[in-house]
Homo-oligomer: A and B are copies of this chain.
Amino acid sequence: MAQLSKPLLDLIGFFERLPGIGPKTATRLGFYLLNAPTEFVNTFAKSMTEMKNRIKKCRVCFGVSENETCEICNDGKRNRLQICVVERAIDVVVIENMGGYGGVYHVLGGAINPLEHIGPDELNIGELVERIRKMAKDDQEQAEIIMATNPTMEGEATALYIKRRITEINPNIRVTRIGSGLPIGADLEFADQATLNRAMEGRRGI
């Protein structure tokens, strides 16, 4: 792309660094903005820096927030004794969009991954343990900690590690794991063995 002017090449380069955007899509997006109204491009750019300036992490759950604590943690109608533990802030959005979940969250900031040198101390696990430890004894025994980390090696290991840490506080605290098995609409024929295994293990009466 030697013939493209530098400002456009620079912008395409930025798009290319976004996840899931290859060189072709990046070029297309660059040209799209080239032909888009200046007003749109300027407000887009402003929205980017503004988001970065105004959004912080919730002090309690480490989710996305404009204030010290997030809307979900502040919401009096939420069940504070049901904590859904997820890897990333975006997972909160996915579960919220599903609807029907009335508890609160705890964002770990990732999963334990020895290959990438991410141990428990790099994640918000200590803060989760503290959050549970601070609950009244009665509350602890009514609480449910839902491990909604990804069904990957790292996510499973993280869930098991956290389960152990919580049991150390109080062995009566209920720790659950989200269901694994065939996704809705899937075809048994094309399912991998690990998933099928989980689906069999997770079978329920009908």
Contacts from A to B (Cβ < 8 Å): 1-8, 10-11, 14, 17-21, 25, 27-35, 38, 40-55, 64-66, 70-72, 88-90, 92-93, 96-97
B47 touching A52, Cβ below 8 Å: no
Which one of B21, B30, B42, B51 contacts A49 once the chains associate, using CB atoms below 8 Å? B42
| Nearest 8 pairs of A and B residues by beta carbon | A45-B45, A7-B51, A45-B48, A5-B66, A31-B90, A14-B44, A7-B54, A11-B51
* Residue numbers in B under 8 Å from A14 (CB-CB): 43-44, 47-48
CB closest chain-B residue, reference A95: B3
CB closest chain-B residue, reference A31: B90
Q: List 13 A-B contacts (CB under 8 A).
A: A1-B97, A3-B72, A3-B96, A6-B66, A7-B50, A8-B51, A8-B55, A11-B51, A31-B88, A31-B89, A34-B89, A41-B48, A48-B48
Secondary structure dominating the interface of A: helix
B47 touching A5, Cβ below 8 Å: no
**A97 CA to B19 CA in the complex, in Å?**
23
Which one of B6, B20, B29, B89 contacts A19 once the chains associate, using CB atoms below 8 Å? B29
Q: How many copies does the complex hold?
A: 2
A30 touching B8, Cβ below 8 Å: no
* Residue numbers in B under 8 Å from A54 (CB-CB): 5, 7
* Shortest CB distance A48–B (Å): 4
* Shortest CB distance A173–B (Å): 26
Which one of B1, B55, B90 contacts A96 once the chains associate, using CB atoms below 8 Å? B1
